[in-house]
Chains A and B, each alone.
Chain A
Amino acid sequence: MLETVAQAVINGLLIGGIYALVSIGVTLIFGVVKIVNFAQGEFVMIGMYITFFLFNSLGIDPLLSLFVSMPVLFVLGALIQHFLIRRVLGPNDMPQIFLTFALSLLLLNLSLLLFSANYRTVHTFYSDEAIHLGGLYIPVAKLIAFVVAMGLSGALWVFLHTTDLGKAMRAAAQNRDVATLMGINPNRVFAVAFGAALALAGAAGSLLMPFYSAYPFVGQVFVLMAFVAVVLGTLGNVVGALVASLMMGVAESLGIQFVGADSGLIVVFAMLLLTLAFKPTGLGGGRVR
C-alpha cells in the first residue's frame, strides 16, 4: 500500500515537472504582458517537432536539442511579441484573445499540413529504461525531464530576482505604468518575457520527446493542465504555477490510482474548485511574483 502511494507520488511529480514548464510560460506571459496565450500548447508541439526532426535526420539526442529548441522558440516568441502581440495590447482584451487563439489554430493546422497527423516517436537508449529502487521504479527519461524542468524553473526564478532585466520584468508585472515611469522599456521587457515563456515551452517539447509521441494536437493535452495550474497557483505567479503543477501531477496520479483511471482529471478539477471556493485568488494568495 505504502509502496503504491509512493510510486503514485513519484509518477505524479515527474509528469508535474512537465506541466510546470508549460504553466510557468503561460503565467509569465500573463504576469508580464497581461495576455492569456492560448497558443502555448502549440509551442510545446513545435518544440517536439524540432526535437523529432533533429533526432531523425541528424541523430541529435533530444536533450542536446534543448540548445536548439529553446533559442529558436525564444526568438520566435520575441518576434511574435514584437510584430503581433504588441499591436493588440490596449484596454480591450478581445483582440488579444482572438490573436492568440487564432495563432493556436493556425499553428495546429499548419503542422497538420506539414507533418500530417502521424504520431512521431523518438527512441533513445534511455527511453525505455528505469531505475529500480526496492519495489519502486523511476523512468530515466522522465527523471531527466523533471530535473531539467526544475533546473530551468530555478534559473528563471534566479533571473527574475537577481538580474536588472528580471527585476524590470517583475516591476512591469506588478504595475506597468509605474514601471514605465521608472524608465523601464515595456516593449523590450515584454519581448523577453514572451521569448522566455516560449523557450520554456520548447524545453518542455524537447524533454517530452524521449517518452511521448509528437502529433499536431499534442499541445492541447498539456495546455489544459497548464491553464488549471496557472489559475490554481494565482495568475502571474511563477512559483505558484510551479507548485500547483506538481500538486496537480500528484493529484492526477493519486486519482488514477485510487479513484479510477478515467477520474484523474476529476481529482484535479475538484482541487481547483475547492481552492477557488476557499481561496479565490489561488494558492499564491493573489501575489504576483
Chain B
Amino acid sequence: MTKAREQFAPPQKTVSLPSSSQRPSRRKFLKNAGRAIAAGVASAVPLRGYAADLVNIGALYPTTGSMAQIGVGCVTAAKLAVEMINEAGGIKSLGGAKLNLITSDVQSDTTVTRTETDRLISSNKLSAIHGCFASALTLIASEVCERAKVPIITGSSSDQLNKGRTYTFTPFARASQFAKAQLQMSKLVSEQPKVAVIFENTAFGTATSNGLKELAPGEGVEIVMFEPYSAGFTDASPLINKVKASGANALFSVSYLNDLILIVRTVKQVGLNIAINGGSGGFVIPDFYKNVGKLAEGLQGVAHWNHDMDDNAQKVNAEYKKRAGEFLFEYAGGLVAQTYMIADALERAGSADPQKVREALSTLDVSTGFAAMAPGGRVKFGPDGKNIFGRPVGVQWQNGDLASVFPKDDARAPLIKS
C-alpha cells in the first residue's frame, strides 16, 4: 500500500502546480487533485523516512470574486518562485527537497478565507503559508495560522498584523510607513501641501488613512479633508465635489482599482488641477494604466515592492512578463521574495516542521539574493514579526511603466512634476 503510493508520488508532483491562466473549473480540479496527492504523500512520509522529498507551502489568494485578477497574478508569481527554487536544487539541508505549492482560493471573501485556511492547514502538512493580498483577508488567515501554529508570511500592510502574533511575519513596509512616504512625496510637489485624504471604508483603507492623519503634523503637511467612502460606488462625482470644495492641492486616494479609475476620471472631468497620490493597492498594478491610459501619466503612488528596484527584481520581472504578459506588480513581486525567505528558513531549520520554520524565520537576516529583494535591501524580523529594515518605495507612472522615484536611495528615475 505504502509502496504503491511512493511509486506514484514523483510524476504527480508536477500535477500539483496548476497554471494560473487556466479556467477556474480546471484550476479547481487540479488544485483538488494536488491537495489529495499532497495529503497522500504527507501521510506516506512518516512510514518511510527517506521519502521526505516534498515541502508543502500553502498559498492563499483570491482567484475568484472581486479581487480575482490580482489573486491570479499572485498565484502565477508564487509558482514562478517555487519553480526557481526547485530548479536551483530545492532545499539542500533537506536532501534537495522540492517545494510543493498548494494554492487555495479564498474567493475575496472573509468567511471563505477562514474556512479555506482551516481546510488547507488541516488537510495538508504545511511548513509555511503566504497570502492573501487584501489585508481584510490576511487578518483572518493570520488568526487561523496563529491558532494552528503554522507560520504565515505576508505582504499585506495592516499594522494590526504585527499585534500579539507570533506566527505572522511581514517583510515589507507597514501601512503607517506608507503614510509617511506619501506625506514626504507631497512635499516634492508643493512646499505648502494641503492634502485631501479619501479612503475606502475597509481594513486596508482605514489603516492607511489613519496612519496619514497621525503623521501629517510631524511631516508639516496639512490635511484639509479626511473622508471614508463605501468601496464599489457607482459615482465619484459627489466625493470629488467635496475635494474641490476643500481647496486641497494634493489628493491621496486610498482605493482599489475600480474606484480609483472612477476617481481619476472624475477629477479630470471636474477640471481639478491636483497632484494625485494613489497610494498602493489598485494603483500600482499594470491594469491601472491599461484602464486609465494617458490620464495615469504622472500620477504618484507608494508600493512595498517595485520591479525596477534591483537586478534580482528585474530578473524575476522579465521571467514573469514572459508568463503573464505584464510587469511584475508589487504584491506578486513581494511574494516571490517571501517564498525565498521561507526557503532560507527551511534551509537553516533543516526541517519541514512548521514550528521549526517559524523559529528560523524569526532569526532570518538576509541582505543578498532573492530573499533580500525588498526596498531597504535587508530583511530581519523584530519580535513583532515586522522587518526592521522594511520601507516603502515611492513610484510614479511614466510612459506606461511604474518607475521608482522616492526615496533617493531607491529612485531609478526623477519625479515628473505635472
Contact = CB atoms under 8 A, between A and B. Distances in A.
29 contacts: A11-B237, A14-B235, A18-B234, A112-B24, A113-B25, A116-B68, A117-B64, A117-B65, A117-B66, A119-B287, A127-B265, A128-B268, A137-B271, A139-B266, A139-B269, A211-B262, A212-B262, A213-B262, A215-B66, A222-B234, A253-B238, A256-B238, A256-B239, A256-B242, A261-B198, A261-B230, A261-B238, A261-B242, A262-B229
A128 B230 contact: no
A150 B242 CA distance: 28
A256 B287 CA distance: 28
A268 B295 CA distance: 32
Contacts of B25: 113
Contacts of B242: 256-257, 261
Nearest to B242: A257
Given A11-B241, A130-B270, 11 more contacts: A4-B241, A11-B237, A12-B238, A112-B64, A113-B25, A116-B68, A118-B287, A123-B293, A212-B262, A215-B66, A261-B229
A265 to B, nearest CB: 6
Nearest to B291: A121
A213 B235 contact: no
B209 to A, nearest CB: 12
A116 B287 CA distance: 13
A265 B234 contact: no
Interface string B295-311: 10000000000000000
A100 interface: no
B201 interface: yes
Given A116-B68, A118-B287, A127-B265, A212 B229 contact: no
Contact of A132 (B66, B229, B271, B290): B271
Contacts of A18: 234
Contacts of A127: 265
A116 B227 contact: no
B50 interface: no
B289 to A, nearest CB: 11
Interface string A88-126: 000000000000000000000100110011111101000
A247 B67 CA distance: 32
B201 A217 contact: no
B397 to A, nearest CB: 16
A260 interface: yes
Highest count of chain B CB atoms <10 Å: which of A116, A120, A254: A116
A260 B227 contact: yes
Interface of A: 4, 7-8, 11-12, 14-15, 18, 109, 112-113, 116-121, 123, 127-130, 132, 137, 139, 211-213, 215, 217, 221-222, 225, 252-254, 256-257, 260-262, 264-265
A112 B293 contact: no
B31 to A, nearest CB: 16
Contacts of A8: 238, 241
A261 B239 contact: yes
B225 to A, nearest CB: 10
Given A113-B23, A116-B69, A213 B269 contact: no
B257 A119 contact: yes
A7 B241 contact: yes
Contact of B241 (A112, A117, A130, A257): A257
Highest count of chain A CB atoms <10 Å: which of B201, B229, B238: B238
B230 A118 contact: no
A60 B238 CA distance: 30
Contacts of B261: 119, 121, 213
A130 B269 contact: yes
B47 interface: no
B228 interface: yes
Contacts of A256: 229, 238-239, 242
B258 to A, nearest CB: 6
Given A113-B23, A261-B242, A262-B201, A128 B237 contact: no
A213 B233 contact: no
Highest count of chain A CB atoms <10 Å: which of B23, B198, B265, B271: B265
Contacts of A137: 269-271
A261 B236 CA distance: 9
Contacts of A252: 235, 238
Contacts of A118: 69, 287
Given A261-B198, A261-B228, A112 B68 contact: yes
B238 A262 contact: no
A264 B238 contact: yes
Interface in B244-297: 245, 257-258, 261-262, 265-266, 268-271, 287, 290-293, 295
A119 B24 CA distance: 18
A211 B68 contact: no
B217 interface: no
A247 to B, nearest CB: 15
B232 interface: yes
A222 B232 CA distance: 10
A15 B270 CA distance: 16
Nearest to A18: B234
A119 B237 contact: no
A14 B236 CA distance: 12
B203 to A, nearest CB: 14
B299 to A, nearest CB: 14
Contacts of B201: 262
A30 B291 CA distance: 37
Contacts of A117: 64-69, 72
Contact of B291 (A119, A262, A265): A119
Given A116-B69, A130-B270, A213 B241 contact: no
A253 B229 CA distance: 12
Contact of B238 (A11, A113, A215, A265): A11
A117 B23 CA distance: 11
Highest count of chain B CB atoms <10 Å: which of A7, A8, A117, A132: A117
